[in-house]
Structure 1
Amino acid sequence: MSSGFTVGRLVTFTGAPGIGRVGAVDGGTLRVDFFESVAEPEIESHTVPATACQQVRLKPQTRVFRHNPSTGEWLAGRITNHVGGQYFVQFPNVEYHFPVPEWELRVRWDKPVRDPLQVLASGGNESGFLYNARIPMLRNLVAQRAVSANTPALLATAAEIYPHQVRAALTVLSDPVQRYLLADEVGLGKTIQAGYVILQTLIDNPQARVVIVAPDSLRRQWQAELRTKFFTDDFPTRVRITSHESPEKWKQYDESDLVVVDEAHLLVQDRDDTDPTYRALCGLAHSASKLLLLSATPVTSSHTTHLGLLHLLDPDVYKWSEREAFEQRYNHRAELANHLYSLSADFHVLLPSSIEMVKGLLPQEDTRFDDLAARVLELLDSEGNLRDETDMQELSARVTELRAHISETYRLHRRVIRHRRAGVLGDDDDSALFLYEVRGRTEPTPLAVESYDPAADSLVEWQTQLWGYLLDEGLEGSRSAYALALAVLASRLGGTSADYLDALRWRVRRDEDAALRAGLGPREQRHLTAPPVVPHEAKILEGLEEQITDAHHVTELNELVDALLPALRKGPRVIVFCGPGALAARLTERLSARFPKVAFLEHTRRTGTEKSELAIRKWREHPAQSAVLIADDTAEDGLNLQAASTVIHVRLPWSPNQLEQRLGRTDRYVESSQQRQPPAQFVLTDAEGHSGAWLSLLVNGYGIFADSVSTLQDAIAQGLAGIWAEALEHGPEGLTEAADTVQAQLADARAEIDQMDMLESIFDTSPEGNRFTEQLGEFEANWGHAREAMLGYTGRDGSSGIQIRHSEPSTHRDAFEITPKTLISPHLYDREKLTEEMARGTFNRNAALKAPGTRLFRIGNPLVDTLANVVWYDDRGQATAFWRADPNHRGDPEPYFGFDYLVEADTAPALELALKLPHAQKRTQVEAALRRQADQLLPPFTLKVWVPAGDTQALTDEALRAWLDAPYSATDHNYNSKRIHELLNLFDGPTGYDVSARAAEQVARAELERVTNLADRCAQAQQQGRERLTVARAQAEARQAAGRLLDDAESYLLDVDVTATLVQGLNHPKVRLVSATCVLKTGLRRIRRGD
């Protein structure tokens, strides 16, 4: 039975390494041969069923090689047309298009050029102009890989470069097991860190399934960030964003390549492994190849919260069935943290006793602790005083090193990354380039409504009568429950009385519609209904309902607007926080009616998520002098609203933790110089009532308008019922008088947190992390080099690049267009997927930051990556031969061979070991992670070596090397197919040329260490790797011995073995030939016209 194919047909099939040629037909089976170069025309063959193959029609500009059956010669050209079953090919230096039958053509397979030397030795060289275009582009691509440790996401993301964010992302992406908890404090950019990981996951595998689980209110912000900073829409698969509120949908995302859970603590707190939502999250997390949990959970949170999070990361080590043992380990760490806190150079007299106490908690096998402790103690005398010659700075450095060892060794889980504001905001004080700033906070200005507020008086009456009733009935023990009811009711005061009335209706009558209108969440509803209703409450409610009419609500709104006007006029970007309930919607309507020319934008449950997100976008981009965003509680979690210049709080939440979330919307990283000052704060308040007293306590007790209290949220929550109980017993004065109590509680909590945080935070005293970020900064400062290399390769100003059309629509903006004349084989890129938007952008990071949504032309950008593939896969520019005249040269022509090499660390030996790591599921993921580790130690680089033909040593004459390195120009003369015999004759024919070229390349490799700095680079990388390895091995062995503290030592030791194998191979890097050149140095020659 005929297969329908004949020998010579060009075909492809699923999984084929490119376009192949049918080499033989055996019934229904084909042998498909693949072409590497004219030196290796059949590099690989596949036997496949004919039914699995599809015939290929070559498109114009496809690079082909014609094998002349008469002469046996090979000639490269490009397809111009296909007519009547044969192709028309444009060959070099031929004016017409030559008809060629398909069976005489070959197409190079889609793999990097294996050996440019073979191409050169076989006479397959091309014009030196192609070398001029390719090699600078290749070197710049290697430089980008080196500066980013093979992590293009760091370069392609349109975001500021900050050390703590880069370190976190690189730590995750360099780990063969990418399951991490990112636990930075609020406002430090966990979303950016996660975005780097998301983008790199898609770059490594464009078909990857990526899922983000986020609160519904944050889904569109995630979409905007991914679209405008990380450009994830450029990939064929969409990043899916599902909500916390829809766990029933999570099952469909099982087996994802990456799962990111934002605000993960919200799905873990107050839950255990029996909770259906948590169980659904476990199913999703445990099935994923990679997992990122984002949570600002304090280090002092309950052990069950930590167990819940760590179980998501590693269910085999952190088991719910062993929660008691986990609690013991958790508590033991607290004791260690307490003693670690006392290790301070400032109190050097106490250091000997502190070291002794810490040593008693650690396993005897921790010899590195002993060594580091001894280094500290040798600077002190027997009484703990500094020795005479001791430098205080040296003592401080050694104590820091000792504390760092304890922190990195005994953290609860080594795949938890936690940065604190205090550490990050002080990072790189000497480098303005990396200064991470947040807007900060300022004490609020009170705003008052002068008229009578019946709701505020009603609450005072409610509280006074309630406390009297509890005293009369001997129910003082129930005051905490009633106190929380008071707190919720107080949070609905201010602006209008409608929400307060509805909250009271829910408490007294269980009116569900009223609860909905008042925006009462499940917890607030419980607080209002938990304590029994007492007799006077119904009467208070009825009296208030009689007093407050619809007309009164209108009056209240008008008076509220009048009170807000001084703050609203501050502009230009104003946020009005109204808290939960109907107030925000009613206020928007009233303001819009009174001031129709002002942009009042609403972010509420009533408008819905989509319209609310649109409102934020309009508020940010509004061209008018003033834009006002009016929001209920839907805008208080996760949103980036740091563009605000004025913040107005019509109501304050009853919990400082919720207010912290609200303030965190504007107290975020600085995006522009205009944001270096904190926004002005205003609070609507009744100075004599509960709202005024609560504001006073928030300012003077909690200090929440001065600094973030995010790390104190557990301590605040534990003491909150007691604080509101003071208000229940003593009225508003009970709140103002609690300031000292609150300050003392928070001071104790801070001390405990500082102790534990010293153990759990990332403690990196090595300079490598910041040095890496500085290298990124240097690359960005020299962005023009990347632009020049790419414009040279694409063919700017009519040069002999690959002829991609280039334009400059505006300053620092570039646009590229692949046209029918572009010299790229169409099968090397997908024109439909390479959209116009992907080919428009900038090389200047600052320009991209000023225009959100502007792409950066770096590796990781689809256009740049397409060109990078062409650089590696297209053979043009990889082999060059020409003669160059030197007016001063006398005597016979002198041939020289030049070799460009790529040097990189060899990861192959470590790969097989790394695949044995627990949770190391995918070979490609592990391979990429190891490559990033290796590139941090030994960044890849290029070298060029020249060897005189027939010599046994590489060329060291700097002047001659510079002459040979000069770019190919119009005065040089390419040895094309018509002239190549002139060159071959100098070597007594093709065989002699081949032998001489190969001998020269062997000399070049042997001479690499002598004529370049290869040996020094490798030795330095290996030394740095061994230093890291010594520390890591000591920590791993200490963790293994500290079983009562930790439980993941076995995998840590295997990690160390992987690193050891990687480091061992650094002195034997891979040296890959990427280009071969032959230059014939001659004196001046008479040239025939047309040469």
Structure 2
Amino acid sequence: MWTATQDLGFGRVAAAEGGMAIVEFVDIPGVAVEFKPIPIADLQIKPIPVGSHVWLPGKPYGWISAEVTTWAGYEEYVLHVPGFGRPLKVSAGLITIRWSRPLTDPVAAVVAGFCDFPASYEARRLFRDEMVLQRRMAGGYSAVLSAPVKLYQHQLDTMARVLQDPVPRYLLADEVGLGKTIEAGLILRQLLLDDPGTTALISVPAQLVWQWHTELRDRLALSDALRAQRLRVVSHEQLGAEPRLCDHTMVVIDEAHQLLPFIDGNQSLQQSLTRSQGLLLLSATPVRGGDPETLLRLLHLIDPIAYPLDSAEEFAARLRERDTEASDLQLLRNPRAARRHRSRVLNTLIERHADDPVVARLVAACRLTDDLGAVGWGQLADHVRETYRISRRMIRHRRTAVAATEYPVVGRKGNVLSIHDPARAIVDAFVEQFREDLGDDSDEFFPELVEHALGGPLPLMHYLEARLAATQGPAVVPARFRALFDNMTARLRMSEIGLRLRVAAQLADERMAAGHKVVVAGSPSMAAAFHEMALERWPRRAGGHLESMSAEQRDRDVQDFHRGEPRVLVVDLSAEEGRNLQVARSLINLDLPVDFNRLEQRIGRLDRFGRHSEPAEVVVFDEPESAWVSAYIRLLADGIGIFDRSIATLHAQLGEMYQDRRASMLSDGHRAFELDLEEVRTDLNEELEGIDLVEELESVAVGSDFDDARVAELRESEKDGMRFREAFTKLVLSSGGINLQPSEDDQGIVRFNNARSARYPGLSTDQADEIRPLLSRRVTFNRDLATQRGGGVVPLRIGDPLVDWLAEHLRTDERGRARIFSRVSRGVRFPLLCLAVDFMVEFDPSLVVENFGLRPRLQRRGDALLPPMLLHIRSTADGPLTDARLVREVGAPFDPSRDRAISGTRWDELNRQLPDWQHLCRLGRDEAYAQLRSDPALNSSIREALARAGQEHTARAAILQSRSQRLRGESAKASARNELLREQKLAEALQRGISAPRITAVACGVIVLQPETS
């Protein structure tokens, strides 16, 4: 009989009386036994589960490894003993069970005769090695390897920066299309893996709830967390009703600028967000050219002390100062700049940062040399970049920068097609007539009328009908214009007004025939008309995302659009923000909004991360015979360049241009669009250069766990998964492993043939119950396959529930940890006892950090500095094993055809040959530890890690110190001092955890080399 207690693991009830039981916990029999009095009520007493690993006393010495196959009743069990030809029935009194704590001294296990069959070690060795290698590659971020996502530097860097911070509160402000959803998802995935008590809440615009669910399920493999309600997605409208936001480990707000209206007047929601444990705001808010008030409000939610709402003027001044500083630093590092210009910049920096001793020291160093390659110039630029960022809690990456990392932003390519609409002449004539009749009067609807007229006769007719139908409010048509509107409406009804719809349908047919998915976009009236046509023309391949549809129907149609064969999706302005439609290869515009930013939002649905290499085709219709249409198209194509490049960062400038064009339409007519196109292009390009300079400053950060070289190494290690396939297969198929019966189909999908079995050889029934739910998912060894397939196919890597379960099982299970066998060798004349000890060396976060919540973050920083390593030490009682031939022989796998496991009567043979073999084992162990401590590679790694940790801390501390000095207000300075103190404590923990790493003897093999006999 046995018991499992919550804190002590497995043990045997040795005696019971008076409500108390004496439980025997065996570490290694004959070496360490503990007897604990435990209340019987706290025990779970039951028969030994089938599949449990047990030990039988051996004769004349040692213990025999066995596995329970059935309970025979009357306290008897049937056991499977490796190497024994038939099942063995034994009494429970002969069975010993180790408690379920990791075996800390496998050499002592060998000495006590607790030796497993060598096949158990061979089955586990490669898997154990692979787990360490994957930890090294991922830097401890297991969420990265186990999520079916491509590996991109800027996304991994964002994840690492947030998760390393003891206060994970950030604004993720990447430009549109760079994957803020993936960044937030990786952060959430890692937090959920780190702590089973983690919960997170995601708030998004209502139309994006389904899209977020899909991304979390298919691209982040978080279905289990969604089902268990550890992770929930709500709309912005619902967020205010959420109880106890502060209890969540992380709150994520997508399109955070859209949440601000819901916060106005809701002081409780504001306070909950500012006090939450972790907060991620996602918004592509630029530093330059954006709305300073919006940016300040977002930063206030992240850090209310450093960014009070009553500091709007000071904040705007900081933005202007940063703009100037960007130009200064560009000049500072320009080798063609005159010396006097660089000297002027140095003087400006001294004046601007007079209270910063680091700036003063570095400026003095720069003045000693004109060599821009000297250390001082680079250090000065880096220090000013990082120390004086608008916020170190805002992370922003630019499309131009990530292009160098092979991040596949789809891009766009314009296709302007000329058409001849027979009704265009009467449309333009009506616009001019209405404009003339208005005269000097102001009609706020004239720009709206122009926008509908630019789209052709159909949207204009719908617009006029809606105005004529209005009976009250500003939409009512003045009496003097009703006849004009009535007459025009009647003429349009009698005209051919469906040309654009028919041409668009023909274009969609051609592109679907080529295997492409197509988005057709227009104003609500045009999109509704085309949608009706599309349902008749392609009844099973057409869908919509229209204002008139329910949210559920829109989600279903978008979901269908993403799946399967070429399809067409008809959208109006309801899909212009947030939706991911990059699976489409073509965007056919039925008409164009006059608001340039709205048009950018529409095109941006396709121009984002994509799996196809060709840029998205942007089809627009020009009508050269129309002065209004042709002038507007020329401005868009040749002036703004919106059909060939993303202009999302020019939001403010384009907004001003739109308002100017709108205001001049009545007075200038179509000439409102006839600007100097070269001048427009030049001005916008200069503005883009200025934005790039400022955002380059704001995107730089000190230190990164994922620089370009690291990401390249990680990608290389993940190319085909062959190495892990071999390790995993050996563990779950070979003798001595865990029989899970995986099979891989010709597409690379792995399934488990016994996913519903009652038991799995190598595991107890309790363990089988734990692992069984993990075997029903679709998994693969091939990362590329997982990222391409989606739909729940996940890569088998560290961080996957099945892989993590197996890794933890191997950590606590004693099988394969201690082995002893003899091997014939030509290299020895007398029996030689050799040890092969596998040591795990890793950063130790437990030395000084008692806060469990901080340990995962500290562990990752430590892993990045001192990556975990497995060292295989070969030793004898007399010293290191130096003979190359013997080293190879000791390290070779167990071969049952020529090697002999020592058990039963073979212990007598060993005692005759080496009567002091136990003493030799202990001496060999001491020698192995001595070799480990003096290992050149290990000591070099520790020295380098300490040096890097010191450099990182010095840089971080200097930045935090400088930032704390320039903050205004005692509360802000106190917050900065606390942050500096946290950094100091973490730096001390890093130094100690590196200098005294955790060393664990993972496994020990004692190999007795025997001389050949004639």
Taking structure 2 as the reference length, the TM-score comes to 0.90
| Secondary structure, aligned partner of 1:1078 | strand
For residues 885 and 339 of structure 1, do their structure 2 counterparts lie closer, same or farther at Cα, with a shift above 3 Å needed? same
Q: Does 1:665 align with 2:600?
A: no
Q: Hey, what's the Cα distance between the residues in 1 that align with 2:445 and 2:152?
A: 47
- The equivalent of 1:146 in structure 2 is 136
- The equivalent of 1:245 in structure 2 is 237
- 1:485 Cα deviation (Å)? 5.1
Q: Hey, what's the Cα distance between the residues in 1 that align with 2:361 and 2:580?
A: 47
| Secondary structure, aligned partner of 1:226 | helix
Contact 1:132/1:967 (<8 A) preserved: yes
Contact 2:53/2:68 (<8 A) preserved: yes
- 1:329 Cα deviation (Å)? 4.8
Q: Does 1:82 align with 2:60?
A: no
Q: Hey, what's the Cα distance between the residues in 1 that align with 2:216 and 2:318?
A: 39
- The equivalent of 1:1039 in structure 2 is 963
Q: Hey, what's the Cα distance between the residues in 2 that align with 1:576 and 1:464?
A: 38
Q: Hey, what's the Cα distance between the residues in 1 that align with 2:506 and 2:285?
A: 38
Q: Does 1:1050 align with 2:991?
A: no
Q: Structure 2 counterpart of 1:1054, which letter?
A: L
Q: Deviations over 1:539-592 (max 9, x none)?
A: 55444455555x87xx53466214652464234324344344243233122234
Write the mapping of 1:34-73 to structure 2, written as runs, cut at 5 A: 34-38=25-29, 42=33, 45=36, 47-48=38-39, 50-65=40-55
- 1:611 Cα deviation (Å)? 3.5
Q: Hey, what's the Cα distance between the residues in 2 that align with 1:494 and 1:35?
A: 88
Contact 1:126/1:976 (<8 A) preserved: no
- The equivalent of 1:573 in structure 2 is 516
Q: Deviations over 1:992-1043 (max 9, x none)?
A: 5554433322222222244451111111222222222222222222112222
Contact 1:213/1:244 (<8 A) preserved: yes
Contact 1:938/1:1018 (<8 A) preserved: yes
| Secondary structure, aligned partner of 1:444 | strand
Q: Does 1:297 align with 2:285?
A: yes
Contact 1:447/1:563 (<8 A) preserved: no
- 1:678 Cα deviation (Å)? 3.7
Q: Does 1:632 align with 2:568?
A: no
| Secondary structure, aligned partner of 1:849 | helix
Q: Structure 2 counterpart of 1:1024, which letter?
A: R
Q: Hey, what's the Cα distance between the residues in 2 that align with 1:910 and 1:714?
A: 50
| Secondary structure, aligned partner of 2:252 | strand
Q: Structure 2 counterpart of 1:191, which letter?
A: T
Contact 2:60/2:908 (<8 A) preserved: no
Q: Does 1:468 align with 2:440?
A: yes
**% identical equivalent positions:** 27
For residues 563 and 874 of structure 1, do their structure 2 counterparts lie closer, same or farther at Cα, with a shift above 3 Å needed? closer
For residues 80 and 455 of structure 1, do their structure 2 counterparts lie closer, same or farther at Cα, with a shift above 3 Å needed? farther
Q: Does 1:962 align with 2:962?
A: no
- 1:744 Cα deviation (Å)? 6.3
| Secondary structure, aligned partner of 1:126 | coil
Contact 1:366/1:1034 (<8 A) preserved: no
- 1:132 Cα deviation (Å)? 1.2
Q: Hey, what's the Cα distance between the residues in 2 that align with 1:72 and 1:850?
A: 56
| Secondary structure, aligned partner of 1:241 | strand
Contact 1:272/1:308 (<8 A) preserved: no
Q: Hey, what's the Cα distance between the residues in 1 that align with 2:528 and 2:196?
A: 43
For residues 190 and 894 of structure 1, do their structure 2 counterparts lie closer, same or farther at Cα, with a shift above 3 Å needed? same
Contact 2:106/2:1004 (<8 A) preserved: yes
Contact 1:212/1:241 (<8 A) preserved: yes
For residues 759 and 562 of structure 1, do their structure 2 counterparts lie closer, same or farther at Cα, with a shift above 3 Å needed? closer
- The equivalent of 1:1067 in structure 2 is 995
- The equivalent of 2:398 in structure 1 is 420
Q: Does 1:1021 align with 2:963?
A: no
- The equivalent of 1:351 in structure 2 is 342
For residues 468 and 1076 of structure 1, do their structure 2 counterparts lie closer, same or farther at Cα, with a shift above 3 Å needed? same
Q: Does 1:644 align with 2:584?
A: yes
- The equivalent of 2:355 in structure 1 is 364
For residues 12 and 1007 of structure 1, do their structure 2 counterparts lie closer, same or farther at Cα, with a shift above 3 Å needed? closer
Pick from 788, 797, 804: which aligns with 2:726? 788
Q: Deviations over 1:48-81 (max 9, x none)?
A: 5x4444334543212234579x999754422212
| Secondary structure, aligned partner of 1:289 | coil
Q: Hey, what's the Cα distance between the residues in 1 that align with 2:730 and 2:853?
A: 33
Q: Hey, what's the Cα distance between the residues in 1 that align with 2:199 and 2:625?
A: 55
Q: Which moved more, 1:992-1001 or 1:488-497?
A: 488-497
Pick from 769, 779, 789: which aligns with 2:717? 779
Q: Deviations over 1:899-919 (max 9, x none)?
A: 11011122234524xxxxxxx
For residues 535 and 363 of structure 1, do their structure 2 counterparts lie closer, same or farther at Cα, with a shift above 3 Å needed? farther
Q: Hey, what's the Cα distance between the residues in 1 that align with 2:141 and 2:460?
A: 56
- The equivalent of 1:1078 in structure 2 is 1006
Contact 2:274/2:301 (<8 A) preserved: yes
Q: Structure 1 counterpart of 2:497, which letter?
A: E
Contact 2:731/2:738 (<8 A) preserved: yes
Contact 2:64/2:903 (<8 A) preserved: no
- The equivalent of 1:704 in structure 2 is 642
- The equivalent of 1:500 in structure 2 is 463
Contact 2:594/2:658 (<8 A) preserved: no
Pick from 801, 812, 818: which aligns with 2:748? 812
Q: Hey, what's the Cα distance between the residues in 2 that align with 1:401 and 1:371?
A: 11
| Secondary structure, aligned partner of 2:410 | coil
Q: Deviations over 1:738-796 (max 9, x none)?
A: 75675466356435523432331225698961122122122113621111111111124
Q: Does 1:858 align with 2:797?
A: yes
| Secondary structure, aligned partner of 1:570 | helix
Q: Structure 1 counterpart of 2:766, which letter?
A: H
- The equivalent of 1:874 in structure 2 is 813
Contact 1:311/1:319 (<8 A) preserved: yes
Q: Structure 1 counterpart of 2:868, which letter?
A: P
Q: Hey, what's the Cα distance between the residues in 2 that align with 1:603 and 1:889?
A: 79
- The equivalent of 2:876 in structure 1 is 948
Q: Structure 2 counterpart of 1:192, which letter?
A: I
Q: Hey, what's the Cα distance between the residues in 1 that align with 2:1005 and 2:721?
A: 29
| Secondary structure, aligned partner of 1:1072 | strand
Contact 1:33/1:46 (<8 A) preserved: no
Q: Does 1:911 align with 2:849?
A: yes
Write the mapping of 1:617-1016 to structure 2, written as runs, cut at 5 A: 617-623=559-565, 626-672=566-612, 675-683=613-621, 688=626, 690-737=628-675, 739=677, 742-743=680-681, 746-747=684-685, 749-750=687-688, 752-763=690-701, 769-781=707-719, 783-796=721-734, 799-818=735-754, 819=757, 820-828=759-767, 830-831=769-770, 834-838=773-777, 840-853=778-791, 854-890=793-829, 892-909=830-847, 911-912=849-850, 923-949=851-877, 951=878, 953-970=879-896, 971-984=898-911, 988=915, 993-1016=917-940
Q: Does 1:219 align with 2:209?
A: yes
- 1:933 Cα deviation (Å)? 0.6
| Secondary structure, aligned partner of 2:441 | helix
For residues 456 and 997 of structure 1, do their structure 2 counterparts lie closer, same or farther at Cα, with a shift above 3 Å needed? farther
Pick from 235, 255, 263: which aligns with 2:255? 263
- 1:185 Cα deviation (Å)? 0.5
For residues 294 and 111 of structure 1, do their structure 2 counterparts lie closer, same or farther at Cα, with a shift above 3 Å needed? farther
Q: Hey, what's the Cα distance between the residues in 1 that align with 2:400 and 2:823?
A: 62
Q: Hey, what's the Cα distance between the residues in 1 that align with 2:890 and 2:671?
A: 87
Q: Does 1:611 align with 2:589?
A: no
Q: Deviations over 1:425-451 (max 9, x none)?
A: 134xxxxxxx12322222331353512
Contact 2:421/2:499 (<8 A) preserved: no
Count of residues in correspondence between the two structures? 996
CA RMSD for the aligned pairs?
3.4
Q: Deviations over 1:378-428 (max 9, x none)?
A: 332xxxxxxxxx5x7x26x8645432221111112212211111111134x
Q: Structure 2 counterpart of 1:1050, which letter?
A: R
For residues 22 and 692 of structure 1, do their structure 2 counterparts lie closer, same or farther at Cα, with a shift above 3 Å needed? farther
Contact 2:62/2:113 (<8 A) preserved: no
Q: Hey, what's the Cα distance between the residues in 1 that align with 2:379 and 2:509?
A: 52
- 1:498 Cα deviation (Å)? 5.3
Contact 2:842/2:867 (<8 A) preserved: yes
